[in-house]
Amino acid sequence: MWDRPLVQELIGNRLHMQHGPIDLVLKAWGPRREVDTAYRAASARFETVLDELVADLPELRRAMSERPEVRSPVAIRMMRGCLPFTGVYLSPMAAVAGAVADEILASMCADAALDRAFVNNGGDIAVHLAPGQSIKIGVMGDFSQSAMPVASAEIEITAAMGIRGVATSGAQGRSFSLGIADSVTVLAADAAGADAAATLVANAVNIEHPRIVRRHAHDLDPDNELGCRLVTVLVPPLAEAEIAAALQAGLALAGEFRARGLILGAALSLQGRTIALDHLPKLQPGAG
């Protein structure tokens, strides 16, 4: 169905990996020999990831409440990422991008001693930091100026924080959303968990409004696991009070997840306004 996986070098000693819908950019820091070893391991692991996911796809499209049965390592990571979020509809597909990033990063770190590394799967990022190391990540979540996002926040992550996953979801992203957030970025212990949480918080950024356009997911994509659920297609310009109400609804859920130890931070953006949980790590709204 798809061509063979593509792996190519980019400027800045990064690797680009693409296979079907999976599109990764990764980078590692450390001794040259260790970095080369990590890149070889990532390339080898990437060879079969998509085929493994396709084999598990019928189960991965089932709701978590139906207890899907999966076999592949990435699918198991997806299940584990979603498992703590009970009581609402969620399928393992909510964690697919983060789980793929986690899996590729794990292959890199298993074979090499690295100072730092990241695997970025379309904005869902798995991070490795050796003791004493840090990394800065820009949150591209502000769509108020154009169809292309600009930076709405900057995150500096240190090894001591325990953050190893950053994921973004929202109505402006690649997947469908039940909410109206332009973007919700979540920090967690791994990218799969961050991915699932970002999906749910983005769904919670919501209000009722007569000019918000929603459509049944299966009308837009017959194969989508959301089925007849209404997903957001268009959000008109909102009043300040409406923006605040929607963001606060999402922030309340993010706060609940943090209290349960499921996430470590979150930033939510809607029509030029970004708010964040008032908790370490500090998110700098509006940073370049």
pLDDT of residue 151: 60
Tokens of 3: 């061509």
Radius of gyration of the chain (CA): 18
> Which residues, listed in sequence order, are joined to residue 185 by a DSSP beta bridge?
168, 267
Q: State how far the Cα of 56 lies from the Cα of 71, in Å rounded to an integer.
A: 7
pLDDT of residue 152: 59
pLDDT of residue 20: 94
pLDDT of residue 280: 43
Give whole-number Cα distances, 41 to 96, 106, 236, in Å: 20, 9, 46
Q: How many CA atoms lie within 13 A of 2 on its CB side?
A: 14
pLDDT of residue 103: 98
Tens-digit pLDDT profile for residues 53-74: 999 999 999 999 999 999 999 9
pLDDT of residue 287: 41
pLDDT of residue 82: 97
Q: State how far the Cα of 109 lies from the Cα of 281, in Å rounded to an integer.
A: 24
Comparing CA positions, the residue from 209, 196, 179 lying closest to residue 270 is 179
pLDDT of residue 288: 35
pLDDT of residue 99: 98
pLDDT of residue 278: 63
Domains and CATH numbers, the chain: 6-285 (3.10.520.10)
pLDDT of residue 244: 97
Q: What does the DSSP 8-state code read for residue 66?
A: G
Weakly modelled stretches of the chain, pLDDT under 50: 280, 285-288
Judged on CB neighbours under 10 Å (0-12, 13-18, 19+), 255 is middle
pTM: 0.92
pLDDT of residue 284: 52
pLDDT of residue 37: 98
pLDDT of residue 36: 97
Answer yes or no: are the C-beta atoms of 134 and 157 closer than 8 Å: yes
Residues present in the chain in total: 288
pLDDT of residue 140: 63
